[in-house]
Chain A
Amino acid sequence: MKKTLGAIVLSAMSGSVFAELIVENAHIRESIPGAPNSAAFMILKNTSAQDVVLTSATSELARATELHNHINDNGVMRMREVSEIVVPAGQSVQLKPGGMHVMFMGLATPLKQGEQGSFTLVDQSGQKYPVQAPVKKIKMQMKHDHQGDHKGEHKH
């Protein structure tokens, strides 16, 4: 029964809903020209009374899909594959830039804003959580849109 529920994907605006794990705000970073890797970020909400321990991720988007974290070691960023991401019972965990992420290494094709990408999170018991997420361009934190407004001359 648990398995069946776990496999159901409700494509609501808020994300995909599972028996224990709700995936919210999932998005995949648009790949940057020249770069073969990308990452997905999201909020994982565990609504059950038991911890959810994610142990892997799979996707057809890339040659390898891994769970990663960043350690900020005195100003040095060390990105590492992690063996698990624990979402404690009744709590949320945020996968965000500079922290944990689902890492796509060796993209099959570049990812463009507006596309959808899918990947699957897998927990300790082997239960799968398929996620569909929009591809989004990184925010440039500009006061106004910078597109088409480059400084005219190219210096390089």
Chain B
Amino acid sequence: MKRLLIGSLAVVVAFVLGFWGSNQLPEDARGFELTRSDGAQINSFDALKGQPYLITFGYTYCPDVCPTTLAYLAGVLQAYQSAEGEEIQSVFVSVDPERDTPDKLGQYVEYFDSSIWGVTGTEAQLGQVKQTYSIFFEKVQGKDPDNYLIDHSAGILVMDSKHRLSGVIREGDSLEQAIATIQNAQ
């Protein structure tokens, strides 16, 4: 019941605040539990060890926006590392667990940057992610049942060490802007 209440609250808040709705959640509801492409079960609180991280959402059947975002993310990661001398963890969440097997997801993120975690989960886990990050995704049926599309939130969320949203990086932001947004998230 409490879950449900938090859930409905998150939906309402998300409507008003967009991604920022996530900060209204209690701290222990702000993480994720998902399966990484190597098969590891990732609990974000344990795995990220109190470090800020970047998270973005998509699916491998997406030929246009997702590759563009991940290519941009790869650029940001590299620029951040050269500027700061350290890495920041980034996470690509597939919202299409039906088709994105761990193996495919692993190959997909590796193409852009081998440090990116490709993760996905059960429908229930992804439903939780939707609320946690105040994001939107929804399947859209095409003519061909195997080739459905998925509408999804774009942008890269910058999360601080307490899993609070600190900023949003959008493609088109210069690398300098993106680095500044990450630096803000300590």
Contacts and interface: CB of A to CB of B under 8 A. Distances in A.
A70 B171 CA distance: 15
A141 B115 contact: no
A72 B100 CA distance: 24
A2 interface: no
A141 B71 contact: yes
B71 A139 contact: yes
Contacts of A33: 107-108, 110-111
Interface string A76-112: 1111110000000000000001100101111000000
Contacts of A104: 63
A68 B151 CA distance: 13
B36 interface: yes
Interface string B65-82: 101100110110011001
B24 interface: no
A156 interface: yes
A33 B110 CA distance: 9
20 contacts: A29-B64, A33-B111, A35-B61, A35-B104, A37-B62, A68-B64, A72-B154, A75-B153, A77-B152, A79-B65, A80-B140, A97-B65, A98-B64, A106-B144, A106-B147, A138-B71, A139-B71, A141-B75, A141-B175, A156-B36
- Which 7 pairs between the two chains have the least Cβ-Cβ distance? A34-B104, A141-B75, A34-B107, A33-B107, A34-B108, A37-B63, A78-B151
